[in-house]
Amino acid sequence: MRYNSQIKLILLYLFIFVPSIFPQWDFSLSTYQEFNSNPFRAVNASSELISTFDLGIQKEFENLSFNILYYGNYNNFSKSFEMNYYWHQLGVYSSTENFGWGIYAEQRINKPEINYFDYFNYAAYVNKSFNFFDINWEGNLSFNSMNYSVISDFNNWVASGRILARKSFLTKTTLIGTIVFNYKGFKNYISNIDSTYGDDYIYYTSEDVNVSQIELNCRIAQSVGEKTGLALNVHYKDILSGSGFSASLFESTYGDMELYDDPISQEGYSVGGMLTHIFFEDLVTRLSYFYYSKIYPSQGVYFSETEYNTELFREDTQNVFSLYLSKTIYLNNTNGNMLDLSFNATMLNNKSNSYYFNYDMNYFSLQLSFNF
């Protein structure tokens, strides 16, 4: 209770006093309310009402050509109080028409019961856009350093390179292709770490845990009339070396998925599409469906709650349906004050050859954001 009170007092102070102290800064306040049938992706589902309270602060220094920002949110669970946590981020970035860069630091603060999710994360990126052969190109390089306060064996760094090509046609069709290369290395890895599953032991080597991956993505977007658009997407992942280390070794937690479902320690593909239509000038409606096929080379298979086999790889298929609505209400056109309302309904079904990863998750959310 003391933890909750301290966090709430800090947020209340920021909400009330900071805008008056720094009147030249941009602020955003928002609240996110979600009812989730299974937020922790468990075989035996338990529903939660999750409330998130957000504060964003940003300042543009025109003479110095960069911006600074602070963003923080507190997440509160109606039943699983021990899962409540605070996350915040501090960043410096610059963005022009053809070039951008940014440096960020973020932290997650959990209750003592789940302090193994506490972390500091540092990230930097640089991107450049240009035109070549009437195709718009975007290049991006990024580096990410993850540091867990308790479970230092999982500390890692990720280097990524991305190239994106975009081409538009007179038919109001846009083609977007992306190639991404990821490399993930573990800082404090000690050879022959053993992970115990019942009577089975898995011994990892540095060649196993450090993993390189390539991603290919193709997107086709087509305008259908003035207010309707259709987009189809195909995404492919392939592991080039290694197999990863962290996925599935910890229980799922809301909001941070690297320990549970590391995107770099998996391969497979996804296909899907989105239909977007604007009603009444400014009510955006988006209906989407995606199918995912995933393979986890770093994981064996649970045949039951206790029986684990290391000779097989975990394989999942996932179906995700989503309906999204959003509307922006401009309160003052002079200073840009506006109110954003959004609603989301998502149904997710995950099938797996591993016992603990067969689950359904349905959630409905409502978000209210005020920018001033």
pLDDT digit string (tens) for the chain, length 372 residues: 555 555 555 555 555 555 555 557 888 899 999 999 999 999 989 999 999 999 999 998 877 788 999 999 999 999 999 999 999 999 999 998 899 999 999 999 999 988 888 999 999 999 999 999 999 999 999 999 999 998 888 899 999 999 999 999 999 999 999 999 999 998 876 644 444 444 444 445 556 688 999 999 999 999 998 899 999 999 999 999 988 765 555 667 777 678 888 899 999 999 999 999 999 878 999 999 999 999 998 888 999 988 988 889 999 999 999 999 999 888 766 666 788 999 999 999 999 999 999 999 999 999 999 887
Closest of 69, 103, 108 to residue 88, by C-alpha? 108
| pLDDT for 22 | 56
Tokens at 58, concatenated: 């940003």
What is the number of other CB atoms lying within 10 angstroms of the CB of residue 357?
A: 24
- Tokens 């690297």 correspond to what residue? 258
Tokens at 88, concatenated: 């915040």
| pLDDT for 239 | 95
Tokens at 289, concatenated: 């469906």
- Residue 176: strand, helix, or coil: strand
- Tokens 């016992």 correspond to what residue? 355
Do the Cβ atoms of 197 and 300 come closer than 8 Å? Answer: yes
CATH of domain 2-371: 2.40.160.50
Domain borders along the chain are 2-371
Do the Cβ atoms of 53 and 38 come closer than 8 Å? Answer: no
Rg of the Cα trace of the chain? 22
Residue 49 half-sphere exposure toward CB, CA atoms < 13 A: 3
> Which residues have CB under 8 Å from 61's CB, separation 6+?
67, 68
The torsion angle over the Cα atoms of residues 363, 318, 244 and 298, rounded to 10 degrees, is 120
Q: Name the phi and psi angles at 9, rounded to 5.
A: -65, -40
Tokens at 257, concatenated: 């998925």
| pLDDT for 25 | 80
Report the DSSP beta bridge partners of residue 249: none
Tokens at 264, concatenated: 């770099």
CA 238 – CA 182 distance, rounded (Å): 10
| pLDDT for 55 | 93
CA 88 – CA 101 distance, rounded (Å): 20
Q: Is 220 exposed, middle or buried (0-12, 13-18, 19+ CB in 10 A)?
A: middle
Enumerate long-range contacts of 256-265, CB under 8 Å, 24 or more apart.
256/108, 256/117, 256/119, 258/146, 259/117, 259/154, 260/41, 262/184, 263/237, 264/158, 264/182, 264/184, 264/211, 264/213, 265/184, 265/211, 265/239, 265/296, 265/297, 265/298
CA 294 – CA 230 distance, rounded (Å): 25
| pLDDT for 195 | 44
Report the DSSP beta bridge partners of residue 69: 58, 91
* Confidence (pTM): 0.86
CA 213 – CA 294 distance, rounded (Å): 14
% helix, strand, coil for the chain, step of 5? 10, 60, 25
Closest of 241, 322, 340 to residue 282, by C-alpha? 340
Could you list the beta-strand ranges (E) of 280-307.
Answer: 283-296, 301-302
Determine the length of the chain: 372
